[in-house]
């Protein structure tokens, strides 16, 4: 039986369902009474994109070509944020330099970071959810490498991004001397960052890190509590 007179947009297998926040399976019925089972993927310009159950073919269809019950279900899905993406591409450029300067002792090292964060929306149809971006830049204390020193924690407001849109954040400059040789050891050396995109209540939307895995913590809200220029143990519990 011929299905709804729809535009077949993408053949089977071009996208994986796991790459998108699709709706639960639902019955999609045209105003002519023809039906299929599918998942809602996105909606724009009066058209909704549906992934057909079974063969996973992707269809674009005009919302006003569907029956009232289906239109109501689509409206409810949209009102609950179903048409909002929570997928991000994030790039963090630490802007790192490390050198000995004339203002420091002859064998002291100085790490300088001028981080830049780029957040992109990879979705071609949907806007992203808004929220906050918290970036934490961490170091290992020279005298006790099992602990963690926080060079900087900074939080930015993240507005909803248009499809294929992007935004950029600049973290305040970080500069600190350290010495891990001889008798006068002090300071901390940079080991990487952790970045969380989250809601106002701290619930995680996206997470990325360059810090070693042994410093990672499953509780991202704990990362959000880390303070600039403070010392923590390997479990991210404060030591000062």
Q: What is the pLDDT of residue 165?
A: 97
Instruction: Answer yes or no: do 156 and 177 share one domain.
Output: yes
Instruction: Answer yes or no: do 122 and 211 share one domain.
Output: yes
pLDDT at residue 231 above 80?
yes
Instruction: Answer yes or no: do 39 and 130 share one domain.
Output: no
Which range, of 41-50, 103-112, 113-122, 182-191, averages the lowest pLDDT? 103-112
Q: What is the pLDDT of residue 1?
A: 35
Using an 8 Å Cβ cutoff, are 134 and 195 in contact?
A: yes
Interval 103-152: pLDDT, tens: 555 567 888 999 999 999 998 888 898 999 999 999 999 988 889 999 99
Instruction: Answer yes or no: do 174 and 104 share one domain.
Output: yes
Q: Has residue 84 been placed in a domain?
A: no
Instruction: Answer yes or no: do 111 and 211 share one domain.
Output: yes
Residue 20 binned pLDDT confidence (cut-offs 50, 70, 90):
very low
Instruction: Answer yes or no: do 46 and 110 share one domain.
Output: no
Q: What is the mean pLDDT of residues 173-181?
A: 87
From 79, 101, 121, give the residue that closes a domain: 79
Q: What is the pLDDT of residue 110?
A: 87
Find all residues with CB under 8 Å of 151, minimum gap 6, and list them: 113, 137, 138, 139, 174, 176, 188, 190, 228, 229
Instruction: Answer yes or no: do 67 and 102 share one domain.
Output: no
206, exposed or middle or buried, with CB in 10 Å at 0-12, 13-18, 19+? buried
Q: What is the pLDDT of residue 13?
A: 27
Which H, E and C letters describe the chain, residue by residue? CCCCCCEEEECCCCCCHHHCCCCCCEEEEECCCCEEEEEEEEEECCEEEEEECCCCCEEEEEHHHECHHHHHHHHHHHHCCCCCECCCEEEEECCEEEECCCCCCCCCEEEEECCEEEEECCCCCCCECCEEEEEEEEEEECCCCCCEEEEEEEEEEECCCCCCCEEEEECCCEEEEEECCCCCCECEEEEEEEEEEECCCCCEEEEEECCCHHHCCCCHHHHHCCCCCCEECCCCCECC
Q: Has residue 103 been placed in a domain?
A: yes
CATH number of the domain residue 43 falls in: 2.30.30
Q: What is the pLDDT of residue 17?
A: 30
Instruction: Answer yes or no: do 69 and 93 share one domain.
Output: no
From 44, 79, 114, give the residue that closes a domain: 79
Q: Has residue 22 been placed in a domain?
A: yes
How far is residue 57's CA from residue 3's CA, in Å, rounded to a whole number?
Answer: 12
Residue 200 binned pLDDT confidence (cut-offs 50, 70, 90):
confident
When divided into structural domains, the chain yields a total of 2
Instruction: Answer yes or no: do 166 and 130 share one domain.
Output: yes
pLDDT at residue 102 above 70?
no
- Between 130 and 14, the more confident residue is 130
Instruction: Answer yes or no: do 104 and 209 share one domain.
Output: yes
Q: What is the pLDDT of residue 99?
A: 64
Q: What is the mean pLDDT of residues 53-67?
A: 91
Residue 52 binned pLDDT confidence (cut-offs 50, 70, 90):
very high
Q: Has residue 225 been placed in a domain?
A: yes
From 22, 57, 79, give the residue that closes a domain: 79
In the structure encoding, which two tokens stand for residue 230, read together?
């403070």
Phi, psi of 65 (to 5 degrees): -90, 0
Q: Has residue 97 been placed in a domain?
A: yes
HSE (side-chain half, CA atoms, 13 Å) at 177: 13
Instruction: Answer yes or no: do 58 and 175 share one domain.
Output: no
For 134, 199, 220, the CA distances from 205, given in Å and listed in that order, are 11, 7, 10
Find all residues with CB under 8 Å of 51, minimum gap 6, and list them: 17, 22, 38, 39, 41, 57, 58
Which range, of 13-27, 45-59, 159-173, averages the lowest pLDDT? 13-27
Widest pairwise Cα distance in the chain: 84
Instruction: Answer yes or no: do 125 and 210 share one domain.
Output: yes
Q: What is the mean pLDDT of residues 79-86?
A: 83
Which range, of 22-26, 99-103, 165-169, averages the lowest pLDDT? 99-103
Q: Has residue 1 been placed in a domain?
A: no
Per the structure, the complete domain to which residue 162 belongs is given by 89-232
Q: Has residue 73 been placed in a domain?
A: yes
CATH number of the domain residue 176 falls in: 2.60.40
Q: Has residue 239 been placed in a domain?
A: no
């Amino acid at each position: 039986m011929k299905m709804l007179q729809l535009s077949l947009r993408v053949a089977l297998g071009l996208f994986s369902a796991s790459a998108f926040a699709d709706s639960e399976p639902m019955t999609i019925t045209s105003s002519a009474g023809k039906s299929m089972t599918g998942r809602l993927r996105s909606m724009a310009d009066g058209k909704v994109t549906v992934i057909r159950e079974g063969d996973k073919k992707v269809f674009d269809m005009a919302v006003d070509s569907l029956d009232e019950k289906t239109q109501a279900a689509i409206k409810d899905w949209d009102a609950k944020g179903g048409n909002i993406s929570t997928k991000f591409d994030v790039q963090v450029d630490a802007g790192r330099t490390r050198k000995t300067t004339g203002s420091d002792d002859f064998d002291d090292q100085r790490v300088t970071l001028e981080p830049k964060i780029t957040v992109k929306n990879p979705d071609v149809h949907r806007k992203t959810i808004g929220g906050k971006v918290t970036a934490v830049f961490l170091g290992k204390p020279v005298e006790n490498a099992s602990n963690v020193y926080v060079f900087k924690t900074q939080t930015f407001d993240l507005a909803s991004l248009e499809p294929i849109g992007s935004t950029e954040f600049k973290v305040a400059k970080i500069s600190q001397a350290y010495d891990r040789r001889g008798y006068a050891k002090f300071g901390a050396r940079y080991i990487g960052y952790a970045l969380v995109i989250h809601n106002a209540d701290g619930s995680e939307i996206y997470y990325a890190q360059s810090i070693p895995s042994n410093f990672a913590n499953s509780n991202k809200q704990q990362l959000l509590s880390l303070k600039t220029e403070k010392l923590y143990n390997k479990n991210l519990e404060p030591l000062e």
